[in-house]
Chains A and B, each alone.
Chain A
């Protein structure tokens, strides 16, 4: 089936360092969504990207959708301890379903 691959699986950073997670699909996506799951919690929607080459920002978070609509990235500038959690991308596929990536677990050391 259609897969959305996300790397890295784990990322440990010192507070203040930047963080990036990448999402890749073998086929063109209709859209991509990003979710954050705090430890012990449930995924919460962050943002959706729809257009080729789209870039959106939310404070220290920058989301990009590739020109070919096959990849996406989430970049956090100057991480804080409140950023800890698992970040998931979810791609809209030709089957009309959202396919989630495996997630990147971010740990921030104070």
Chain B
């Protein structure tokens, strides 16, 4: 069963702690993305990766870090430097790089930081 998995579905952390969200895909897709979704603001791009061992900042990368050591995996770390980390985080992948490829989304992780 091909797709994208994100875990956990819900995550709670105390302020000041780093937290890593996992994203795995078995679609053999080259490109992977991380988005943040807040009410009324749509999807905002945090980081994206077009190939293994390479990634680029999106529109709101401050306070986040990523790695792409394997094609299947693109974990996102929300650091304590992120001022408003509570949000719904979505991982996506696409077959190739560029805007003409449809993106497949995972189920998301809802992070709450108190």
Question: What residues of chain A have their CB less than 8 Å away from a CB belonging to chain B?
Answer: 1, 6, 9, 30-31, 33, 35, 41-45, 48, 50, 88, 90-93, 96-103
Whether B97 is near chain A, meaning CB under 8 Å from some CB there, is: yes
Q: Measured between alpha carbons, how far is A91 from B45 in the docked complex, in Å? A: 13
Extra 11 A-B pairs, beta carbons < 8 Å, given A48-B100, A97-B45, A97-B48: A1-B59, A33-B99, A42-B107, A88-B43, A92-B100, A96-B97, A97-B99, A100-B42, A100-B43, A100-B45, A101-B42
Q: Measured between alpha carbons, how far is A69 from B42 in the docked complex, in Å? A: 21
Chain B contact surface mostly: loop
Between B43, B59, B99, the greatest number of chain A beta carbons within 10 A of the residue's beta carbon is seen for: B99
Q: Measured between alpha carbons, how far is A88 from B45 in the docked complex, in Å? A: 14
A interface footprint on B37-73 (CB within 8 Å = 1, 0 otherwise) = 0001111110010000000001100000000000000
* Chain A residues whose CB sits within 8 angstroms of the CB of B58 once the complex forms: 97
* Chain A residues whose CB sits within 8 angstroms of the CB of B99 once the complex forms: 30-31, 33, 91-93, 96-98
Nearest A residue (CB) for B56:
A97
Whether B85 is near chain A, meaning CB under 8 Å from some CB there, is: no
Known: A42-B90, A97-B58. A6 touches B42 (CB 8 A): yes
Q: Measured between alpha carbons, how far is A93 from B100 in the docked complex, in Å? A: 10
Whether A103 and B42, one on each chain, are in contact in the complex, defined by CB atoms closer than 8 angstroms, is yes
* Chain B residues whose CB sits within 8 angstroms of the CB of A41 once the complex forms: 107
* Chain B residues whose CB sits within 8 angstroms of the CB of A50 once the complex forms: 100
Whether B100 and A31, one on each chain, are in contact in the complex, defined by CB atoms closer than 8 angstroms, is yes
Nearest B residue (CB) for A9:
B40
Other-chain residue from A30, A42, A98, A103 in contact with B105 (beta carbon distance below 8 A):
A42
Whether A48 and B102, one on each chain, are in contact in the complex, defined by CB atoms closer than 8 angstroms, is yes
Nearest B residue (CB) for A86:
B42
Whether B2 is near chain A, meaning CB under 8 Å from some CB there, is: no
Q: Measured between alpha carbons, how far is A35 from B108 in the docked complex, in Å? A: 15
Q: Measured between alpha carbons, how far is A30 from B87 in the docked complex, in Å? A: 30
